[in-house]
């Protein structure tokens, strides 16, 4: 078990029970702290302060802002363990592996990447003494609404490029994981003037007010497709520019003759990272007849061996589901799969002895399209494995979803590479799934959103293009 030492960072952001709202430990349900309950008036003040601070922040120039982002990364690294423990308690992911320490490390990496990515004016046209260039100017004030599954890292994906480009930011974390984001912002704010970065915690009313606020010039949102539609409606009032990274029901296709031993562990990792609570995790797996039984058995063995436990337990590989709502969704989808004749290879039930929201890692075989578990995003530790006999049919089924964030193809690299061009998805991975690179653009198509994050494309997304002709 982890050593439960005093967490000075948690103490810095929490308030008394009389002043705030209780935030439960995801594993135990016990209160880990009280978060400030900000109001619409607090939001108004934050947006006003952001507008006041923005011109001077932009005037610092790219080099100085990049220097500050590096100092922010240093600060995050200096307080990495305190921040990781907050994330593990509040969100539930384990400290080790691809868990909360990995998430904190990712925050530092993405801060440094945003600082170091070059973005020079682009030459558009030059002839007969005339030259046209594309420049990238700050948008102004960015509203950043982040989710509960990777609370700190996704907040950084929004905050870091926005600050680098000379914008100020008002950030609103999920009401389920506000402490993780407020703790992160507490560290970042130590290096910027007042008003440049403000965290506002609260319920959906605060998020809706931020999305519709006339003082917001750009809105970045990661979350459900349903909420994304509401944000699009709200943006009609202020014509804020949008980057939306919404839900995904990522398919994987395992080709005929694939070496199961070579890919099983990577497929398992692509499914169960963060207990399956990842937008771009692998959520439905189409496997050719020739390797179906072998792969189902291999995945079942890996699921049986995975250590489920509290995030602060150093031995845990998978944690609890973060919210009661998500636990209920996962449970309902598995029960529906059972009712349709799906075969539970392993798991298929809760683990109440561990805590209120623990669900055993589950592999469901002999299931098909049309089952809720296949057609809907489960966002939890459950994988439906669907048999196919014709590759063309598998591609068609993979493309049938309205959501298209990520996808993967497993097997012969050359054949997979050709098929990747035919998959309707923002990203297609070959013999891997969910691997992200701060220099490689990421975003969805169809109802998984629009706009790109990361690298130079991510910087441009939080800038206003300006053509200068001379």
d(CA 245, CA 227): 11
- Pairing verdict, β 197-199 and 130-138: unpaired
Task: Single out the residue of 38, 32, 34 nearest to residue 16, CA to CA.
Answer: 34
DSSP string, 261-326: HHHHHHHHHHHHGGGG--TTSEEEEEEEHHHHHHHHHHHHHHHHHS-B--TTSTT-SB---SSHHH
Task: Single out the residue of 428, 426, 421 nearest to residue 445, CA to CA.
Answer: 426
Q: Are 88 and 319 in contact (CB under 8 A)?
A: yes
Cβ partners under 8 Å of residue 124, min gap 6: 132, 133, 134, 467
Cβ partners under 8 Å of residue 238, min gap 6: 212, 213, 214, 215, 216
d(CA 438, CA 459): 11
Return the active site residues.
245, 279
d(CA 306, CA 301): 9
Angle ∠(84,436,251) on CA atoms, nearest 5: 110
**What one-character DSSP code corresponds to residue 443?**
-
CA torsion, ordered 465, 435, 258, 445, to nearest 10 deg: -40
Q: Are 213 and 41 in contact (CB under 8 A)?
A: no
Q: Are 85 and 100 in contact (CB under 8 A)?
A: yes
Specify which residues 315 forms β-bridges with. none
Angle ∠(241,243,249) on CA atoms, nearest 5: 150
Joined tokens for residue 341: 């004749």
Angle ∠(450,455,460) on CA atoms, nearest 5: 60
């Amino acid at each position: 078990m982890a050593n439960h030492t005093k967490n000075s960072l948690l103490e810095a952001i929490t308030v008394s029970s009389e002043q705030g709202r209780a935030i439960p430990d995801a594993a135990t349900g016990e209160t880990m702290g009280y978060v400030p309950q900000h109001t619409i008036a607090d939001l108004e003040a934050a947006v006003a302060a952001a507008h006041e601070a923005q011109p001077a922040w932009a005037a610092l120039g790219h080099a100085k802002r990049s220097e500050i982002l590096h100092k922010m990364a240093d600060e995050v690294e200096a307080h990495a363990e305190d921040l990781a423990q907050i994330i593990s308690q509040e969100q539930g992911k384990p400290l080790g592996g691809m868990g909360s320490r990995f998430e904190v490390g990712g925050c530092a990496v993405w801060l440094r990447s945003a600082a170091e990515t070059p973005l020079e004016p682009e030459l558009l046209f030059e002839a007969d003494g005339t030259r046209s260039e594309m420049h990238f100017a700050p948008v102004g004030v960015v509203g950043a609404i982040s989710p509960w599954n990777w609370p700190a890292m996704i907040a950084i994906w929004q905050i870091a490029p926005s600050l680098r480009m000379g914008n100020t930011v008002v950030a609103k974390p999920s009401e389920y994981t506000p402490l993780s984001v407020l703790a992160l912002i507490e560290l970042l704010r130590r290096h910027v003037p007042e008003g440049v970065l403000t965290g506002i915690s609260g319920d959906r009313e605060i998020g809706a007010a931020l999305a519709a606020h006339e003082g917001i010039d750009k809105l970045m949102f990661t979350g459900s497709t349903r909420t994304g539609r509401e944000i699009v409606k709200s943006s009609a009032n202020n014509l804020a520019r949008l980057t939306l990274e919404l839900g995904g029901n990522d398919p994987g296709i395992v080709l005929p003759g694939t070496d199961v031993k070579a890919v099983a562990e990577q497929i398992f990792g692509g499914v169960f990272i963060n207990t399956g609570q990842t937008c771009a995790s692998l959520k439905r797996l189409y496997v050719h007849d020739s390797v179906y039984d072998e792969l189902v058995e291999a995945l079942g063995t890996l699921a049986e061996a995975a250590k489920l436990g509290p995030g602060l337990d150093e031995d845990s590989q998978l944690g609890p589901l973060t919210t009661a709502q998500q636990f209920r969704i996962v449970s309902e989808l598995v029960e529906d799969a059972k009712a349709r004749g799906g075969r539970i290879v392993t798991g298929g039930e809760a683990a109440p002895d561990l805590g209120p929201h623990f669900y055993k890692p589950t592999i469901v075989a002999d299931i098909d399209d049309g089952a809720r578990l296949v057609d809907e995003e489960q966002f939890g530790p459950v994988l439906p494995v669907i048999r196919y006999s014709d590759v063309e049919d598998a591609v068609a089924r993979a493309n049938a979803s309205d959501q298209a964030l990520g996808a993967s193809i497993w097997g012969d690299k050359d054949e997979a590479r050709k098929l990747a061009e035919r998959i309707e998805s923002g990203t297609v991975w070959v013999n891997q799934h969910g691997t992200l690179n701060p220099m490689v653009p990421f975003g969805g198509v169809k109802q998984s959103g629009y706009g790109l994050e990361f690298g130079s494309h991510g910087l441009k997304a939080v800038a206003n293009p300006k053509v200068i002709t001379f």
